[in-house]
């Protein structure tokens, strides 16, 4: 069960089965750094189900959660460290970034045999803080908790939320805000920027150690390949193509796809100025720091390829000793990314409109729907969910058409869609349930997240936060009690900008 607000007495820290492979890498990979204690920690949320999945003692962790997840109480076996990495930020390369407000406690091997990182965000300054305070505000912590758990429930690879605590201390940004610490779980926190850190220093030895570590941890099936480092680039390309396609299928906009925010494991990471699109527009941008629209919704596939090219550059000396040969081999993988992405995206979009077979005209059919949605300012998620209802019953046509500013504008497309469905091998009876599995009824609407954050910060009221977590845990199910959460915002509720958590 998950906790609600309460304080916890300090007891002996529970035993945690850490096995810290990253801490065994050379010292250039990280800086040892303990969390900085906070004044008055309070546990606001603990994900007991995830803790049990990690093989942890959930009851003991929850009992002392305020002290443990604030960083006040060390866990036996933890080897806290801040990871070193570089990165392209909005296209400009920074040779040293690193964990400026995050501290990796260590790694555990979960009940399924998967190695998982446990990290505190907002746990105090590190050698990579670059004059920052290393702290996090409550709002970004709640946003990351909500969105990361929602992404998991949607079936999209993502980092997870284990806990959130308030610190009892203020953080100073443009305003004075309540401080908080977020506990994040990931397959790993190794990024494209981690490779860039060593490549920028010409440190091929540590670059090879890093690549071998990633292969052992994430891609053991390629370990014996003739050119394992080219195979690594291919494997990362495949996971990123699949991941970004799945973002687009649910209208997700990451907001800050810098190379230091792209994991080599293929998980979504760093939910700062992220958002889910309401009315469909491929040029949609929410991030307040993305002033040129570099990371707009429709630009995300291309940015994924650009980031992959930066990874490929770092691997060149490992791929082949002859530079021209290495470049040619890497470029083949990078050029093939577009086809990989298109395959994943088209397969998902076919499923969203109820198609199980492939037809040469499917891409045009999908693009035509998106064009009418953009012109008609149709809500992305609601349109596909109502199309799912229409696949079950013609009586749902009026509600579906009402998604568009001009309901008649969608009628020609509906005629084409029905004709296409008539040529499907799958029975009409099977179609609605298949569509419900890919078209969510509930997404983390931006205005709902903001309402939950404001209630928590202004009134110490976490009821809206808890309600969001409840409904978003089952995004594909009809939940009549939460029906308003499926609706787009009214004009006065629209959130036009989201902000970075730093």
**342: exposed, middle or buried (C-beta count within 10 Å: 0-12, 13-18, 19+)?**
middle
Active site residue 216: no
Token code pair at residue 475: 């995004």
Assign 6 a pLDDT band (cuts: 50, 70, 90). Answer: very low
pTM of the shown model: 0.95
pLDDT tens per residue across span 200-236:
999 999 999 999 999 999 999 999 999 999 999 999 9
pLDDT tens digits, one per residue of 19-42: 999 999 999 999 999 999 999 999
Given a contact cutoff of 8 angstroms between Cβ atoms, the answer to whether 144 and 122 are in contact is: no
List, in sequence order, every residue forming a beta bridge with 137; answer none if it has no partner.
Answer: 179
Instruction: For residue 40, give the nearest of 167, 182, 203, 183 by alpha carbon.
Output: 167
Q: What is the rounded average pLDDT for all residues in the chain?
A: 95
Whether residue 237 contacts residue 308, with contact meaning beta carbons closer than 8 Å, is answered with yes
For residue 257, pLDDT beyond 70:
yes
Assess whether pLDDT exceeds 60 at residue 7. no
Quick: pLDDT tens for 323-332.
999 999 999 9
- Tell me the longest C-alpha to C-alpha distance in the chain: 68
Q: Which residues contact 220 (CB under 8 A, 6 or more apart)?
A: none
pLDDT of residue 433: 97
- Distances in whole angstroms, Cα of residue 223 to Cα of each of 186, 208, 212, 229, 277: 22, 13, 8, 9, 40
CB 101 within 8 Å of CB 135: yes
pLDDT at 3: 41
pLDDT on residue 479 = 97
Residue the block writes with tokens 């390369």? 93
Summarised one tens digit per residue, pLDDT across range 100-109 is: 999 999 999 9
* 9 pLDDT above the threshold of 80: no
Q: How far apart are CA 178 and CA 169, in angstroms?
A: 6
Alpha carbons 323 and 255: distance in angstroms, whole number: 34
12: left (phi over 0), alpha (psi -120 to 50) or beta: beta
Contact 301, 248 (CB under 8 A): yes
Residue 203: φ, ψ to 5°: -95, 80
d(Cα 23, Cα 28) in Å, to the nearest integer? Answer: 11
What number is the average pLDDT over the span 410-417?
98
CA distance 244 to 224: 28
Phi, psi of 339 (to 5 degrees): -70, -40
- Reported as a single tens digit per residue, the pLDDT across 118-156 is 999 999 999 999 888 999 999 999 999 999 999 999 999
Mean pLDDT across 335-344: 98
- pLDDT for the residue 230: 98
Q: Which residue has the tokens 């999908």?
A: 366
CA 359 to chain centre: 32
Rounded CA-CA distance 396/390 in Å is: 5
Q: Where are any strands of DSSP class E within 47-121?
A: 81-83, 87-89, 92-94, 102-109, 115-121
Residue 295 · residue 287 · CB < 8 Å: yes
Residue 466 burial by Cβ neighbours in a 10 Å radius (0-12, 13-18, 19+): middle
> What pLDDT shows up at residue 5?
42
Q: Which is it for the CA torsion 334, 336, 339, 344, positive or negative? A: negative
Q: What is the DSSP letter of 281?
A: -
Helix (H) or strand (E) holding 163: strand 160-172
CA-CA-CA-CA torsion sign (424, 428, 433, 439): positive
> Quick one: pLDDT band at residue 13, thresholds 50, 70, 90?
low
Q: Which of 260, 270, 278, 320 is catalytic?
A: 260
Q: What is the CA radius of gyration of the chain?
A: 23
Contact 120, 101 (CB under 8 A): no
d(CA 64, CA 45): 12
Contact call for residues 253 and 296 (beta carbons, < 8 A): yes
Give the CA distances from residue 272 to residues 148, 157, 254, in Å, rounded to whole numbers and listed in that order.
Answer: 11, 17, 8
Interatomic CA distance for residues 65 and 75, integer angstroms: 11
pLDDT at 495: 87
Residue 1 predicted with pLDDT over 50 = no
How do beta strands 92-94 and 115-121 pair?
Answer: unpaired
User: How much is the pLDDT for 12?
Assistant: 65
DSSP E strand stretches across 351-478: none
CA angle 247, 251, 254 (to 5 degrees): 55
Nearest residue to 253 (alpha-carbon basis) of 205, 210, 290, 216: 290
pLDDT of residue 484 exceeding 70 = yes
């Amino acid at each position: 069960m998950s906790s609600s607000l309460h304080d916890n007495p300090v007891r002996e820290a529970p035993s945690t089965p850490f096995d810290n492979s990253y801490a065994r890498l050379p010292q250039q990979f990280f800086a040892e750094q303990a969390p900085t204690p906070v004044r008055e920690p309070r546990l606001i949320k603990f994900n007991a189900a995830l803790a049990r999945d990690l093989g942890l003692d959930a009851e003991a962790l929850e009992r002392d959660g305020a002290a443990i997840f604030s960083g006040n109480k060390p866990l036996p076996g933890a080897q806290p460290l801040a990871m070193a990495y570089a990165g392209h930020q909005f296209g400009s390369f920074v040779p040293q970034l690193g964990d400026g407000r995050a501290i990796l406690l260590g790694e555990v091997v979960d009940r399924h045999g998967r190695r998982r990182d446990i990290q505190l965000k907002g746990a105090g300054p590190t050698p990579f803080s670059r004059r920052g305070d290393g702290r996090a505000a409550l709002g970004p912590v709640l946003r990351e908790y909500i969105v990361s758990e929602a992404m998991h429930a949607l079936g999209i690879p993502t980092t997870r939320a284990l806990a959130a605590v308030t610190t009892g201390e203020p953080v100073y940004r443009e305003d004075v805000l309540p401080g908080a610490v977020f506990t994040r779980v990931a397959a790993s926190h190794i990024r494209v920027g981690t490779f860039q850190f060593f490549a920028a220093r010409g440190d091929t030895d540590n670059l090879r150690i890093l690549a071998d570590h990633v292969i052992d941890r994430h891609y053991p099936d390629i370990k014996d390949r003739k050119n394992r480092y080219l195979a690594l680039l291919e494997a990362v390309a495949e996971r990123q193509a699949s991941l970004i396609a799945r973002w687009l299928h649910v209208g997700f906009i990451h907001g800050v796809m810098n190379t230091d925010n792209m994991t080599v494991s293929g998980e979504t990471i760093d939910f700062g100025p992220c958002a889910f699109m309401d009315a469909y527009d491929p040029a949609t941008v929410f991030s307040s720091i993305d002033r040129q629209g570099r990371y707009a919704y429709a630009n995300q596939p291309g940015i994924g390829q650009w980031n992959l090219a930066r990874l490929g550059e770092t691997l060149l000396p490992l791929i082949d000793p002859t530079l021209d040969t290495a470049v040619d081999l890497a470029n083949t993988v990078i050029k093939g990314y577009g086809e990989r992405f298109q395959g994943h995206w088209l397969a998902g979009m076919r499923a969203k409109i109820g198609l199980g077979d492939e037809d040469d005209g499917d891409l045009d059919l999908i693009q035509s729907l998106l064009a009418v949605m953009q012109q008609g300012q149709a809500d992305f998620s609601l349109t596909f969910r109502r199309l799912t209802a229409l696949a079950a019953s013609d009586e749902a046509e009026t509600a579906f058409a009402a998604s568009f500013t001009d309901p008649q504008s969608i009628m020609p497309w509906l005629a084409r869609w029905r004709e296409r469905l008539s040529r499907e091998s799958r029975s009409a009876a099977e179609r609605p349930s298949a569509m419900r599995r890919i078209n969510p009824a509930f997404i983390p609407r931006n205005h709902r997240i903001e309402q939950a954050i404001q209630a928590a910060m202004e009134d110490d009221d976490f009821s809206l936060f808890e309600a969001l977590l409840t409904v978003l845990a089952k995004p594909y199910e009809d939940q009549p009690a939460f029906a308003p959460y499926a609706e787009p915002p009214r004009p006065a509720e629209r959130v036009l900008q989201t902000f970075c958590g730093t």
